[in-house]
Amino acid sequence: MKILPTRWRFGSLVVVAKLLLTLLSTSCSDDNNNPQPSPSPATSSYRADVAVSWLNMETRLARTTPQIPANMLGRPFAYASVAAYEAAVPGMAGYRSLGGQLNGLGALPTPDPNLVYNWALSSNAALAAVNRRLFANAAPAALAAIDSLEAATETALRGSLGAEVSQRSTDFGKQVAAAVLAWAATDGFDNTTSYTPPTGPGLWVSTPPAFAPAALANWRFNRPLVAGSGDGADPGQPTPYSTTPGSPFYAMVEEVKTIAQNRTPEQTAIALFWNDAANGRNFTPLGHWASILAQVLVRDNAALDKALVANAKMSIAMTDALISTMKTKYLYNVLRPVTYIRASMGQPDWLPLITTPAFPEYSSNHAALSAAAAQMLTDVFGPNYAFTDQNYAQFGLGTRSYTSFEQAATEAGLSRLYGGIHYRRSCEVGQAQGKQVAQNINTRLTWK
């Protein structure tokens, strides 16, 4: 028998214990009082444990798997969320498939309405298949953990189901995953067209300490998950470049430098807490917000249908917000604070608190993605949902509490200013950009 490293072995044991205790017979609604139109129990009759377990698995995979185009920038989160939703939506009364609604996604496999399915089993199979494919370059222990989670969840959910129902449910999830993965393969993620950045005053150049070439320049050409999601989201022209003291651009950079010189302990804590790509924490903003969602679902003891809707809405919006901001970055090619401060403010050795990403500054990815996530989670959980994010307690960064998802998103955006890698305006327009993308998606997708 293959022995997994402690961190994976422990996670699997927790999953098995929790699932065995909660998934076999628990229900969030009384099916006798709410008869279903098909012989299958409703998706709402299962708790969110399947979704939570896979969200936690995905964040671990994102943190420990080398970044390649297939999983860059949290790409698996979006496709996994769509597959999980589609594998269970036949059991969600009133909800519609996203097939034919998402950009380039045709009709998806459908179950036999006269047969019994376990929709949690279907989602589990879909999630396992998508993560196994998109994290195919993960370490052997991580891939074994995917297999372990899938098997443990199957065992817990199968219960007294007959072999035919179990196999049918699992096969349906795999069929959905195969269709979603075929769609994902054509989104442009593997575009290798070379890119040479423009040159001139105020334009982006590679930044210290690594001085890496421009990264992910072709991500702006990726197919958005929702056609038209970026309409009206571009923030417009950046502040006009100038090295003249007192000019708006100079003042904007001076604020970054002043904060760096006088940063408060709270500002430092915020910058480090939302620095999602440092010290082995390769979560990306998608992974950080996936962790937040998992915590919220556990706290609310949520039903599976609510979990799947929340995850799909959030992940779709964040993915399209990222495409929107990458378009903006490579349209305007604004230089980073570290470049300006070193060259035009007489501090040739200056470095920000956190490492500057290898792409242009305007607008802020973190601000836009967090605003998109907050908009969607607010739609599902309400505008005044208070929560505590414990995501980084494991790294010694403590916890942070918020009165709403919007407050958390605003802080996430400002964290990049406090960290010294973004100007305030880029954080502010990034927030508006991400919110607009989410609102566009809400008008273009029909969930019910």
pLDDT in tens, 321-335: 999 999 999 999 999
Report whether pLDDT(93) > 70. Answer: yes
Nearest Cα to Cα of residue 216 among 188, 237, 240, 236:
188
pLDDT of the residue at 396: 87
- Which of 81-85, 102-106, 156-160 has the weakest average pLDDT? 156-160
Mean pLDDT of the 52-66 span: 95
Residue 392: its pLDDT value, please? 87
pLDDT of residue 30: 36
Residue 19: pLDDT band by 50, 70, 90 thresholds?
very low
- Lowest-pLDDT choice from 17-31, 125-139, 368-382, 383-397: 17-31
Q: Which of 75, 70, 45, 85 is nearest to 311 (CA)?
A: 85
Question: Count of CB atoms within 10 A of residue 182's CB?
Answer: 11
| Per-residue pLDDT at 5 exceeds 90 | no
* pLDDT reported for residue 331: 98
Cα–Cα nearest to 28, from 91, 97, 112: 91
Q: Nearest Cα to 14, choosing from 63, 57, 62?
A: 57
pLDDT of residue 10: 35
* pLDDT at site 338: 98
Going by CATH, does the domain composed of 217-444 fall within 1.10.606.20?
A: yes
Sign, CA dihedral 17-20-26-27, equals: positive
Confidence band for 16, pLDDT divided at 50, 70 and 90: very low
Fold match between 6-184 and 217-444?
yes
Q: Where do the domains of the chain lie? A: 6-184, 217-444
Predicted confidence band at 394 (pLDDT cuts at 50, 70, 90)? confident
- For residue 47, the 8-state DSSP code is B
Q: Is CATH 3.90.226.10 correct for 6-184? A: no
Burial of 349 (C-beta count, 10 Å sphere; 0-12/13-18/19+)? exposed
Residue 56's alpha-carbon distances to 126, 367, 393, in angstroms, are 16, 23, 15
What is the pLDDT of the chain when averaged over all its residues?
A: 91
Is there a contact between 216 and 197 (Cβ–Cβ < 8 Å)? no
**Closest to 243 measured CA to CA, from 360, 119, 344:** 344
Select the more confidently predicted residue: 403 or 32: 403
